[in-house]
């Protein structure tokens, strides 16, 4: 399977609507939330597990997934980090709104936009996602959404 880049932090902090004067990491909170969810579900590849076994062992609620994403992964989430199940889900849910699954159930960036809108309302929505705190509470809310989508994805796959 060809390598797929799911998301890059620089696509966000380098965007036209990126506010000035905020840390670059703020543009990657949504990516780090998805990455954390994948790690918690053990959807990482064998190569990732071998290369980062010590890091994986330290991944708990106090672990800085966003900082790790920037430091160890250079701000890039790609298919090399995920196993077959992780890739299938990311391809269907994360990368585009044009997959059969996304058209039926939704896709990650829209779910994240909806989450941001609930937090901030419509005011200043264009760049509000840069201000989502990298907090356990926010992750818990996103995790609940991704968990639901993953269950929908498994049912969707089983029905094929």
> Do the beta carbons of residue 82 and residue 43 sit within 8 Å?
yes
In angstroms, rounded to a whole number, what is the distance separating the alpha carbons of residues 94 and 104?
Answer: 14
Kindly report the pTM of this predicted structure: 0.93
Q: How many residues does the chain have?
A: 160
What pLDDT does residue 159 have?
94
Provide the H-helix boundaries in 28-126.
29-40, 46-51, 53-58, 65-71, 84-93, 100-105, 108-120
5-56 pLDDT, tens digit per residue, is: 999 988 877 777 778 888 888 889 999 999 999 999 999 999 999 999 999 9
> Using CB atoms within 10 A of its CB, is residue 120 exposed (0-12), middle (13-18) or buried (19+)?
middle
In angstroms, rounded to a whole number, what is the distance separating the alpha carbons of residues 85 and 151?
Answer: 13
What pLDDT does residue 124 have?
58
Share in percent of the chain as helix, strand, coil (round to 5): 65, 5, 30
Residue 112, C-beta contacts closer than 8 angstroms, at least 6 positions apart: 30, 33, 129, 142
Torsion of CA 70, 30, 79, 11, to 10 degrees: -70
What pLDDT does residue 123 have?
64
What pLDDT does residue 107 have?
97
∠ CA(133), CA(38), CA(75), 5° rounding?
A: 60
∠ CA(67), CA(25), CA(70), 5° rounding?
A: 40
Please report, for the chain, the start and end positions of each structural domain, with discontinuous segments joined by +. Answer: 5-159
80-135 pLDDT, tens digit per residue, is: 999 999 999 999 999 999 999 999 999 999 999 999 989 887 665 667 888 899 99
What's the rounded mean pLDDT across residues 65-76? 92
> Do the beta carbons of residue 49 and residue 56 sit within 8 Å?
yes
């Amino acid at each position: 399977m060809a390598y797929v880049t799911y998301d890059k932090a620089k696509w966000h902090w380098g965007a036209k609507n990126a506010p000035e004067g905020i840390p670059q990491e703020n543009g990657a909170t949504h990516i780090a939330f998805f990455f954390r969810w994948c790690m918690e579900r053990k959807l990482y590849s064998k190569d990732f597990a071998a290369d980062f076994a010590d890091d994986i062992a330290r991944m708990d609620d106090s672990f800085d997934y966003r900082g790790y994403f920037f430091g160890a992964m250079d701000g890039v989430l790609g298919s090399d980090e995920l196993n077959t199940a992780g890739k299938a889900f990311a391809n269907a849910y994360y990368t585009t709104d044009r997959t059969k699954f996304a058209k039926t159930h939704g896709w990650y960036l829209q779910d994240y936009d909806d989450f941001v809108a609930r937090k901030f309302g419509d005011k200043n929505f264009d760049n509000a996602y840069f201000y989502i705190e990298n907090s356990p509470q926010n992750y818990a809310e996103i995790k609940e959404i991704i968990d639901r989508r993953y269950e929908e994805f498994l049912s969707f796959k089983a029905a094929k």
